Chain A
Amino acid sequence: IAGITQAPTSQILAAGRRMTLRCTQDMRHNAMYWYRQDLGLGLRLIHYSNTAGTTGKGEVPDGYSVSRANTDDFPLTLASAVPSQTSVYFCASSSTGNTEAFFGQGTRLTVV
C-alpha cells in the first residue's frame, strides 16, 4: 500500500542520547516535512525538504537535523535529546508545495 511510514511508533529516550526518527514514502513526492505536535499548539514545522538534496529550517529547528539523500527517505536526528523534545512527531510529504500533504502515523517520543 502506497504511503508514508515512520519508525519507531513510540520511544522512551534518556536525556542526552542521540536518536534518529525514520520516515519513508513511496509516492515519489518531492516535498517532505517534519512536524512536532504538542497539546494546545498547532503543528510546528521543524525542517523541510522541497526536493532530494535540499533541506530547510522551519519554525522550531534547534536541536534537530535532517538529511535528504534520496526522494524516499527523510530522517530526523536529535543529536542530544532534552525533555522539551518530548512530543509527537509527524513526517509528511506532498507532491508540490500547494497540494495536500500525506502524514505518517506519528512517533510518540518521551525524553526522560
Chain B
Amino acid sequence: GQNIDQPTEMTATEGAIVQINCTYQTSGFNGLFWYQQHAGEAPTFLSYNVLDGLEEKGRFSSFLSRSKGYSYLLLKELQMKDSASYLCAVLDSNYQLIWGAGTKLIIKP
C-alpha cells in the first residue's frame, strides 16, 4: 500500500530552527509537496520538490532524497505565526496526491 509518515506533533521555540521529516512509500513518484494549514483554514502551498536536493524559499527550505523516500521541511527564525500543521504529500504514478496526516507544530515564546 501507499504510505506517508510524518511526526504527529512537534514543539519549538520562537526564533529557533525546526526540521519536519516525511518518509514515503508510494507507487511511483512524480514530486513531493509541502503545505501549511492553520487551524480551521485551508491548506496553502509551500514547496514542491521533484529532483534530489534542497529548495530554499525565504525562511523555509525543503529537501528531497528519492532513493531514501525521504523529505524534510526546514523552518528557520521561527515566528509565532508559524504555528500550524504541515502536510507532506506525494504525487504518485497516476498523478494522484497521497497525503500524510500532517505535523502539528507548536511554537512557544
Residue B43 at the chain A interface, CB threshold 8 Å: yes
Binary CB contact string for chain B from 27 to 47 against chain A (1 if under 8 A, 0 otherwise): 000110100000001111100
A43 to B37, CA, bound (A): 12
A62 at the B interface (CB under 8 A): no
Chain A contacts for B43, CB-based, 8 A? 43, 90, 103
**Set of chain B residues within 8 Å of A35, measured between Cβ atoms:** 99
Q: Kindly state the separation between the CA atoms of A97 and B95 in the bound complex, as whole angstroms.
A: 6
What CA separation (Å) do A98 and B87 show in the bound complex?
16
Interface residues of A (CB under 8 A from B): 33, 35, 40-45, 48, 58, 90, 97-106
Q: Describe A's contact surface by its main secondary structure.
A: loop
Q: Please provide the chain B residues from 1 to 50 with a CB less than 8 Å away from any CB of chain A in the complex.
A: 4, 30-31, 33, 41-45, 48, 50
Residue ID in chain B nearest A103 by CB atoms: B42
A98 in contact with B91 given A43-B43, A90-B42, A105-B42 (CB within 8 Å): yes
Instruction: For the A-B complex with A97-B95, A100-B33 known, give 12 more contacts whose Cβ atoms are closer than 8 Å.
Output: A41-B101, A42-B102, A43-B89, A45-B96, A97-B30, A98-B30, A98-B91, A98-B95, A99-B48, A101-B97, A103-B42, A103-B43
B73-90 vs A, Cβ < 8 Å mask (1 yes, 0 no): 000000000000001010
Taking the closest CB of chain B, its distance from the CB of A5, in whole angstroms, is 11
Residue of B nearest to A6 (CB): B42
Provide the bound-state CA to CA distance between A45 and B89, in Å.
Answer: 12
Bound: A33/B4 CA distance, A: 20
Contacts A100-B48, A105-B42: A58 and B31 contacting too (C-beta < 8 A)? no
Residues of A within 8 A of B4 (CB): 42
B42, A104: Cβ atoms under 8 Å? Answer: yes
Q: Contacts of A97 on B, CB cut-off 8 Å?
A: 30, 91, 95
Q: Is the CB of B101 within 8 A of A42?
A: yes
**Which A-chain residue is minimally distant from B88 (CB atoms)?**
A42
Asked whether B101 lies within 8 Å of A106 as measured between CB atoms, the reply is no
Rounded to whole angstroms, the CA-CA distance of A33 and B89 in the bound complex is: 14
Question: For residue B98, which residues in chain A have a CB less than 8 angstroms away from its CB?
Answer: 42
